[in-house]
Amino acid sequence: MRIERVKALFQDALDLPARRDWVTWLRAQTGSDYQLFEEVSSLIRARAAMQQAAPIAPAPAASVPPNCFGAYRAVGLLGRGGTSTVYRAERADGQYRQTVALKVMAGYLTGPEFLRRFETERQLLATLNHPNITHLLDGGIAETGEPFLVMEYVEGERLDDYCDRLKLSVPRRLALFVKVCEAVEYAHRNLIVHGDLKPNNILATADGGIKLLDFGTGVLLDAAREFTVTRTRMLTPRYASPERLRGGRVTPAHDVFSLGILLYELLTGAWPFGDPGSMLRELQRAMDDAYARAPVNAVTNEAAAARGLTAERLRRLLKGDLSAIVLKALESDASLRYRSVRDLQEDLERYLDGLPVRARVQTAWYRAGKFARRRWLPVSAALLLAVSLSAASIVAIEAARTARAQAAKAYKVSAILKDVLSSAAGHGNVTVMQMLEEAEPKLQRAWAGDPQTEAELRLNLGASYVTLSQPDRAMAQLQRALTLFRIAGDYQGAAITLYIEGQNRGELGQIAKSVALYRQGLEDLSRLGKEAPKLWQFRLNLMIGGSLAVLDRYEEARPWLAAALETGPPAGVDAWELANADVRWGSLLAAEGKFEEAEERFANALMRAPRNSLVAGMVRGARITVAGYRGEFVRARDLAREDCERSLLILGPARVETAVRCAAWARYRAETGEIEPALRQVRDELPKVRKIWNRESDYLWVPLTYAAHVMLKADKFTEADRYAREALHASDIAGSPANNPWRAEATELLGSALIGERDTVPGQRLLFEAQRLYAQCGPAWSASARRLAEAIRLFSNKADHTRGPSW
Amino acid sequence: MPSGKALPGEITALLSQWGAGDRRALTGLATLAYDDLRAIANAFLRRENRTHTLQATALVNELYLRLIRQRNTQITDRKHFYTLAAMIMRRILADYARQTHALKRPGTRHNRVPLDEDMAWIDAAGEEMLALDHALGELEALDERSAHTVELRFFLGCTNEETAELLNVSRKTVDRDLEFAKAWLYRRLSGKA
């Protein structure tokens, strides 16, 4: 039976006018198809039954519960929330009349565990004794099992309504707000946070006093969270801090934030983040991606009138210090907010007294210090390209993606960019690239005339392009950003831009160029003197050291790595970055032949970031290299295979990194006897490598050298010759110094190939040359040098010139 | 359910497979994204506002934005993400119900919570959730759109308008589909007893 027919009939039946008898109608529609009739009518009946079915939770009754709550009796309904209902109540024991507020927690919150917590909290709350806080008188469990609190009953008006009704001036509003701060501060000193500060909970009494309600409810609700399923009304997101939106616990910093919103509204009549109903806003806030609008921009004529001023005058009033105070309370990063309510209060008092305030003016430079984006995943995790060699240096090339993602966090993507991206994505098939293209012209408008903003936006765009592997577009944006930052005197911005551009170059394999850029970045940072952020110094030092290591310039790399590591991890460094530093340092040690220490470092790196696949990849690559040094070819092969497979899975086959890793695997397969498969791999894959390789890359010699190894093992000397030559050529192009182990290796390979091709004399000469070159490399290559020397000796002694030495 | 940290490329790969019509990729996606989404869900799931949408769509946007940041992700339309998230929410609730019931001692009263004002006869904290999950699966096989409507509306908390937009149908269609689905589910679930 076709479901569409059933559905259509069902729906049409519902549309029938009430008088019409659906049974007759349906019979007419279904004719002789009795099954169909039965199906549809059973659905209709089911619907009727459903509507009669008792809902699980009865709709909230507006009536007052007749039963007693301990010694109290509810006499009127004051309000109803998602988790509780508040009644006006009286003492029922006839002793004396006292009107109280009775707050009953919602039924589905109860349970023995919750009740226990409730009791504890209640005791705590009862200790609060402050004229501006409603006193908690009593509490208990009703007969029906619901916990309830008995509180001082207060007649009052919401603070914001009160202020607007009386058209209170800004100073008078501030005076009231200060009282609120005092009360909250008092509670904080008693280790109780409010958690749900909002105008609803702050009453202004007829005599102009203040009463705060609902202290500690936020904490209680946290307890409730564990015991409920869904749909528990927690707190008003409108006044919630970003960390709270993310599900974090209630802290004093959260209260500061809520107070900030309250203050903003008292001053401007508007919500700082635009449309409170917008879900995108809430998400942005939760992701630390929303900026509070400068108070001056939020003023309307009505709001000004409610404050006894014209819009113009209100704006003037709100400029400067007052603005700074509010915005400091609204910092999305809790560590940048006022540390305590007291600090906020004091700054306000300073303002009222005409004294300078502590709130710093929000410059972009200042904002740039915030990088915590805990909930963002990297665009795609970078995998350290750790290519292992038989007897040469560890070439650790960082595929820049994670690092780039880090750097892209440096300046928050503006709300504009985000919005544009989201809206663009709603239009059918579109790639991120297309969206960015669409976004660019819109952004031009956004930054009109403000170099600092333009710089930030371009930096962001540039970083996005880098992560999308659009190096030319990235470069264009980043270069412009750099100029603008320098014009604006924002040296940190300049440094970050250079860092990202360095990543960009690194992705292209232009390692030497990237090092130059990083060094410039450090210079820019140095202009900030003591103010230079340690985080970026760390990163730049690490990148320089790491990149030099990539180029096998270990002597040079060492001081940079040491500089990065010596000062201890600065704040804001991710675990994976520290792990990266460990791996680098370990590689350095390994190159010096200190294999045990190197392994310690690798293990340390894994401990720092245990479940991080990027780090795991880095360590694996480094271990492959060490295995190579030590001639443990089976281990190297197995690790390399894993490396290759991971890369295929994660990056796919069309990536440079994958090609190189797979070539490494092939190399070790050949070394351990799997010659045929290795050969196939090289023959299939190397052409692909060429196609996708960027001509300017610094390390094309890597896969070429591997290929040469494999060819030699398979006795394909002509091909080995070709690959080895290419490797040398690539190495030359890259301008690597003479003691580059790759060069030694490629030289060795070429020599062997020539010998295999019966071109003995030049072949031999090259082998000697290779030996000499190895000798100039670090201790890790001494094994290679020895092996080579031994082979030469054997070879020279051999009378048989028909075969090359068997490697 | 097996869950692991998603390797970034995996999500992209599965997404494009899904975009190419491979339905099984959706399961893969759900599995991979489960942990991540569950973390977000735990933060958002507990809140309620006047409109459910705020919590639910926010969660979905989070997923959306995460996925969008994958390089060159082929984004077919937002519906995919919303549908995915609704599926995951449904799974989360079903899992929760399963767990809660495993831990309960027989005879203990449990606190019942209506799934939604519109489906108030289902206890979101009760065993019915598992039956509902199952029944939805059956409905999905018969009439996918209705099942998705239910997911979006009740598990994700989208409004009827939003649901219509996501499913690319008219508001009226959503209303009618919901009527049908509710009746169907009710019949299915009360038949069991």
Q: How far apart are CA B137 and CA B117, in angstroms?
A: 22
Task: Check residue A789 and give its pLDDT.
Answer: 76
**pLDDT one-digit tens code per residue, A353-405:** 877 777 754 433 233 322 222 222 221 111 111 222 111 111 111 223 333 34
Task: Check residue A468 and give its pLDDT.
Answer: 59
Segment among A152-161, A509-518, B84-93, B133-142 with least mean pLDDT: B84-93
Decide which of A500 and A460 is more confident. Answer: A500
Range A290-294 contact pairs with CB under 8 angstroms and sequence separation of 24 or more: A290/A332, A290/A415, A291/A415, A292/A264, A292/A326, A292/A327, A292/A330, A294/A323, A294/A327
For residue A379, the chain B residues in CB contact (below 8 A) are 8, 69-71
Task: Check residue A63 and give its pLDDT.
Answer: 56
Q: How far apart are CA A504 and CA A694, in angstroms?
A: 13
pLDDT above 80 for A541: yes
Q: Average pLDDT in the B128-157 region?
A: 85
Smallest Cβ distance to A650: which of B9, B48, B125?
B9
Cβ A47–B179 below 8 Å, yes or no? yes
Q: Domain A167-213+226-362: give its CATH code.
A: 1.10.510.10
Amino acid at A514: S
What the block records as the tokens of A184 is 């909250």
Task: Check residue B45 and give its pLDDT.
Answer: 41
Whether the Cβ atoms of residue A259 and residue A293 lie closer than 8 Å to each other? no
B101 CA: distance to closest CA in chain A (Å): 12
Sort A486 into a burial class: Cβ within 10 Å, 0-12 / 13-18 / 19+: middle
What the block records as the tokens of A472 is 């030319």
A265 CA: distance to closest CA in chain B (Å): 20
Segment among A109-118, A300-309, A786-795 with least mean pLDDT: A109-118
Task: Check residue A241 and give its pLDDT.
Answer: 85
In chain A, CATH 1.10.510.10 sits at: 167-213+226-362
B133 CA: distance to closest CA in chain A (Å): 16
Task: Check residue A528 and give its pLDDT.
Answer: 84
Whether the Cβ atoms of residue A134 and residue A211 lie closer than 8 Å to each other? yes
Percent of all residues in chain B with a pLDDT value above 70, rounded to a whole number: 34
Q: Looking at this predicted complex, what is its ipTM?
A: 0.71
Percent of all residues in chain A with a pLDDT value above 70, rounded to a whole number: 71
Smallest Cβ distance to B121: which of A55, A279, A376?
A55
Establish if B186 touches chain A: CB-CB under 8 angstroms: yes
Task: Check residue A168 and give its pLDDT.
Answer: 93
Highest mean pLDDT out of A259-263, A334-338, A713-717:
A259-263
Provide the pairing of β-strand A210-212 with A99-105.
Answer: unpaired
Cβ A57–B112 below 8 Å, yes or no? yes
What the block records as the tokens of A555 is 């002597």
Query: Which residues touch A575 (CB under 8 Å, ≥6 apart)?
Result: A608, A609, A612
Q: How far apart are CA A133 and CA A214, in angstroms?
A: 9
Q: Average pLDDT in the A100-124 region?
A: 70
Q: Estimate the share of chain B in helix, then strand, then coil, as percent rounded to the nearest 5.
A: 70, 5, 25
Coil vs helix vs strand at A798: coil
| A371 DSSP assignment | -
Cβ B71–A10 below 8 Å, yes or no? no
**pLDDT one-digit tens code per residue, A670-729:** 888 888 999 988 888 777 777 766 555 666 778 888 899 899 888 888 999 999 998 888
Coil vs helix vs strand at A774: helix
Task: Check residue A279 and give its pLDDT.
Answer: 43
Cβ A54–B121 below 8 Å, yes or no? yes
| A133 DSSP assignment | B
pLDDT above 90 for A487: no
Q: How far apart are CA A795 and CA A321, in angstroms?
A: 84
Closest by CA position to A357, among listed A345, A339, A340, A369: A345
Task: Check residue A2 and give its pLDDT.
Answer: 86
Cβ B43–A246 below 8 Å, yes or no? yes
Task: Check residue A72 and give its pLDDT.
Answer: 83
What the block records as the tokens of A369 is 């210090």
Task: Check residue A363 and give its pLDDT.
Answer: 38
pTM over 0.90? The answer is no
Task: Check residue B171 and give its pLDDT.
Answer: 92
Angle between helices A613-629 and A633-650 (to 10 degrees): 150
Q: Residues of A with catalytic annotation?
A: 196
Minimal-distance CA residue of chain B relative to A224: B46
Establish if B108 touches chain A: CB-CB under 8 angstroms: no
**pLDDT one-digit tens code per residue, A751-783:** 888 888 877 788 888 888 888 888 777 677 776
Distances (CA, A) of B100 to A219, A785, B111, B125: 23, 66, 11, 8
What the block records as the tokens of A45 is 């009946």
Q: How far apart are CA A394 and CA A591, in angstroms?
A: 7
**pLDDT one-digit tens code per residue, A155-200:** 888 999 999 999 999 999 999 999 999 999 998 888 788 888 989 8
Closest by CA position to B57, among listed B77, B86, B35, B31: B86
Domain boundaries, chain B: 8-192
Task: Check residue A805 and give its pLDDT.
Answer: 43
Q: Which CATH number fits domain A68-152: 3.40.190.10, 3.60.120.10, 3.30.200.20, 3.40.640.10?
A: 3.30.200.20
SS (H, E, C) B32-77: HHHHHHHHHHHHHCCCCCCCCHHHHHHHHHHHHHHHHCCCCCCECC
Cβ B68–A651 below 8 Å, yes or no? no
Task: Check residue B60 and give its pLDDT.
Answer: 44
Establish if B20 touches chain A: CB-CB under 8 angstroms: no
Cβ B43–A57 below 8 Å, yes or no? no
In chain A, CATH 1.25.40.10 sits at: 384-631
CA atoms within 13 Å, Cβ hemisphere of A410: 30
Test mutation, A52, A230, A427, A649, chain B, max B CBs within 10 A: A230
Smallest Cβ distance to B46: which of A11, A232, A611?
A232
Q: What is the largest CA-CA distance in chain B?
A: 54
Establish if B189 touches chain A: CB-CB under 8 angstroms: no
Q: Is A123 left (phi over 0), alpha (psi -120 to 50) or beta?
A: alpha
Question: Where are the alpha helices (H) located in A426-470, listed in sequence order?
Answer: 432-446, 451-467
Q: How far apart are CA B182 and CA B193, in angstroms?
A: 17
Within 10 Å of residue A48's Cβ, how many Cβ atoms?
A: 12
Q: How far apart are CA A399 and CA A614, in angstroms?
A: 10
Mean pLDDT of chain A: 75
Segment among A352-366, A471-485, A495-509, A785-799 with least mean pLDDT: A352-366
Sort A28 into a burial class: Cβ within 10 Å, 0-12 / 13-18 / 19+: exposed
Fold of A384-631: 1.25.40
Segment among A327-331, A338-342, B62-66 with least mean pLDDT: B62-66
Q: How far apart are CA B17 and CA A264, in angstroms?
A: 48
Minimal-distance CA residue of chain A relative to B99: A229
Establish if B192 touches chain A: CB-CB under 8 angstroms: no
Amino acid at A54: A
Cβ A228–B111 below 8 Å, yes or no? yes
pLDDT above 60 for B123: yes
Task: Check residue A81 and give its pLDDT.
Answer: 60
Percent of all residues in chain B with a pLDDT value above 90, rounded to a whole number: 15
Smallest Cβ distance to A56: which of B57, B75, B114?
B114
Test mutation, B38, B40, B113, B132, chain A, max A CBs within 10 A: B113
Minimal-distance CA residue of chain B relative to A9: B180
Smallest Cβ distance to A14: which of B65, B112, B179?
B179
Taking one residue from A and the other from B, the number of pairs with CB-CB distance under 8 angstroms is 189
For residue B186, the chain A residues in CB contact (below 8 A) are 46-47, 49-50, 53
For residue A11, the chain B residues in CB contact (below 8 A) are 176, 179-180
Chain centre to alpha carbon of residue A129: 42
Q: How far apart are CA A379 and CA B49, in angstroms?
A: 32
